[in-house]
Structure 1
Amino acid sequence: MDLDEGRVLAEREDTVAERSAPVPVTLTPRAVFVWISITVGALLALALVYLARGAITWILIAALFAMALNPAVEALCRRGLERGRAAAIVFLVTFATLGAIGFLVIPPLITATTDFIEALPGHLRQLDAERGPLAFLERRFHLGEELVDIYERGGIAALFGLERPGAGAARAVAGTALAVIAVPFVTFFMLLDGGRWVRGFLDVLPLTARSRWERVFEGIYRTVGGYVTGNLLISLIAGTVAAVTLFAVGAPYALPLAVIVAILDLVPLVGATLALVICGLAALTVGPIAAVMVVVVLLVYQQVENHVLLPIVYGRTVDLSPLAVIVALLIGAELAGVLGALAAIPVGGSLAVVTRELVRWRRDSSLHLPPSVTDEPRITPD
């Protein structure tokens, strides 16, 4: 090894030693103030989110509706309509359809629910007296006695865990009424201006980051919009199958139960099973053969849904493993109850999109980094 090569090698070893030497960390008053400000700001933001959790929930529901309706708006825009007219047409047609369905379904639903509430005390006393097809529940678990006691103490609200103080009930009714009015309008304005908000956000980003954020927004939109649309369609199919089956066997309260099935079917993994149990118990009041028929039909449909319909929805929209789905459901249910469970999978799919893009960005950044000193080829003597 000649003198020049030895000098170069020594300089590189000195550079490596300097870089590996510990760097003293100094905290200036300004740095302390900045970190305290960031911490306080984060805590205030979390407190604000907690206080406004009700409004945030309704805004998220409106966003889900907007993402589900946006493909129809985009299709009309491609046919030459301006976005305002396209959004108005889709909005009016959608809510007119929902209103017509409600006009046809809600009156008999109210009638059936009222009949159920009026007949409930008789059913409970029959159960308590160990009569009827559900008498085994009283003989084994003394369920009838407990239900009668709860009903006599608090009525139908106590029986279903819905009792609230007067002020709390008034606030709940007012909040629900406000949400019913606000969610459609927020949905419409999101359809109208949502794309403009996204473009405005992208315009303020550096050119190097714009394409990355475009991919994130497109992935989230595709995930959430496709999931919501597909799940609503599957839920409608489940409710229709349940209604036809319950009416066919003459089960009581077929329409309210079909609505319950459609709602529960929106909850992945556990909703369909819970709906099957409820419908089976309702059909058992007609007779064991009717109950078996209902359970068999709903079981067959559940298998078709699990192995045909849901893989299509999940495979094309949400790239999540079964374990990730279960974890997302548990976290969502713990944070926000039923609404949290409903939103868990689209939120989890959106986080998966962001995570994949972050990993891609890190990989691309590492490929363009200059080689470090330790990665340079070591000079060996001849």
Structure 2
Amino acid sequence: MIGVGTPDWESSKVPPLLRVSAALSWRFVAVVGALYIVSQAVGYMASVMIPVGIALLLAALLSPAVTQLTRVGVPRGLATGFVLVGGLAVVGGVLTFVITEFSNGLPELQNQVTASLSTIRDWLKDGPLHLSELQLQQYVDQLLETVKANQGEITSGALTTAATVGELLTGLVLALFTLIFFLHDGDGIWRFITRIVPRDVRARADLAGRRGFASLVSYVRATAVVAVVDAVGVGIGLWIVGVPLVVPLAALVFLGAFIPIVGAVITGVVAVLIALVANGPVAAAVVLAILIGVMQLESHVLQPLLLGRAVKLHPLAVVLAISTGLVVAGIAGALLSVPLLAVLNSGIRSLLSDADKHVDPRRVDVDEPQASAPKDLGDEHRVDELGSDDDDKKKESGRGRR
């Protein structure tokens, strides 16, 4: 017969190290499995999740402007319309300017590419390889034959690109539509979401979410400043060297800088390659030196000063987050991974902070950078989990003390 003490006897036969290792192992497996399921679900819903994530980033960028307009008496709906129209006008004007500059500089770039190809052809003939005209023609013919042999794959790739463009336009419409509601009633949407949280911890979850969004606002602001500095620095360097398409390349660096650490480097390599083709190896070396200088300024001055204070993330965590996002959702995942990590970091810090136990979520201004830092506001700002009834009780107790 199995006695009451049998489980204790059996557990005593298991070494403590093995028991602890087993307990940690199954919990680790459970966490990894949950993360895998979440990543698969996000990947499956990428066409919806990515536009919503981009809309959230844009809301973090534009919501302070909407808030400032409402504080001076402008209705929130009208303020949202003003900010959206103004933002679209700025983006449209910048895109029009970039496309015009690219179109104007393209003929010059084509001439320089043709001259560079002629230089390469002469080097192949007169250089150490000493290729003849017949050999060069054979290589060209082989290239044409390869293109013809893979015409089906090229055509299917073009069709895939057309489908991708269609999905991109659909995603842009969804992102714009979502952005309108985030700006107009983001606080109401958040309060509705927090209703699924149990009432006894709802206030802490509400506060953690607001801290996370405040951290996202700080991240977007700091990243925009870093992107402007990168684009201006690289653009001035390209202009001094005389590389064509200065404005489009600077705009490309600006967009790439929103992917921390690696984005500006990748887009800067494009500028180096264009300088190599258009102006030769010396100009490319100068542009590379300028790019390295700008990256050093970003890594050692701007990132610690701005992003370090905004999100408080270790550079290794940023690199791993970008790599994971790139694997899960491509470029969009790399773009959204660091903001997501910043939001989670700030929210978890708020949940673990003793100073946030007595902070009223309604008193947190998510449009101010300092809102992302937990601080104790005192018992006078204690969270009212029961709403107006607790307010009345506090007022009555206050009258009694007086």
Give the structure-2-normalised TM-score. Answer: 0.66
Residues in 2 aligned to 1:204 and 1:64: alpha-carbon distance in whole angstroms: 24
1:94 is aligned to 2:96:
no
Matched with 1:315 is: 308
3-state SS of 2:313 partner: coil
Residues in 1 aligned to 2:206 and 2:80: alpha-carbon distance in whole angstroms: 22
Structure 2 CA distance for partners of 1:56 and 1:121, relative to 1, 3 Å = farther
Residues in 2 aligned to 1:328 and 1:69: alpha-carbon distance in whole angstroms: 25
1:18 Cα offset (Å): 11
1:126 Cα offset (Å): 4.0
1:192 Cα offset (Å): 0.8
Question: Cα RMSD (Å) of the superposition?
Answer: 4.1
The equivalences for 1:1-382 within 5 A come to: 49-113=42-106, 116=109, 120=113, 123-124=116-117, 126-127=119-120, 129-130=122-123, 153-154=146-147, 164-203=156-195, 205-284=197-276, 285-287=278-280, 289-360=282-353
Structure 2 CA distance for partners of 1:151 and 1:51, relative to 1, 3 Å = farther
1:343 Cα offset (Å): 1.3
Residues in 2 aligned to 1:164 and 1:114: alpha-carbon distance in whole angstroms: 29
After TM superposition, the structure 1 stretch with the greater mean CA deviation from structure 2, 44-53 or 183-192, is 44-53
Which has the bigger relative contact order, CA under 8 A and spacing at least 6? 2
Determine if contact 2:222/2:306 at 8 Å carries over to the other structure. yes
Whichever of the two has the greater Rg, that structure is 1
Residues in 1 aligned to 2:38 and 2:319: alpha-carbon distance in whole angstroms: 28
Identity %: 26
Structure 2 CA distance for partners of 1:211 and 1:163, relative to 1, 3 Å = farther
The one-letter amino acid paired with 1:331 is: T
Residues in 1 aligned to 2:139 and 2:249: alpha-carbon distance in whole angstroms: 24
1:283 Cα offset (Å): 2.9
Determine if contact 2:39/2:328 at 8 Å carries over to the other structure. no
Residues in 2 aligned to 1:270 and 1:175: alpha-carbon distance in whole angstroms: 26
Determine if contact 1:202/1:213 at 8 Å carries over to the other structure. yes
Residues in 2 aligned to 1:108 and 1:57: alpha-carbon distance in whole angstroms: 30
Contiguous gaps of at least 5 residues in structure 2: 12-34, 132-137, 358-402
1:360 Cα offset (Å): 5.0
Contiguous gaps of at least 5 residues in structure 1: 1-15, 24-41, 140-144, 365-382
1:147 Cα offset (Å): 10
Residues in 1 aligned to 2:301 and 2:180: alpha-carbon distance in whole angstroms: 33
1:48 Cα offset (Å): 5.8
3-state SS of 1:317 partner: helix
Give the structure-1-normalised TM-score. Answer: 0.69
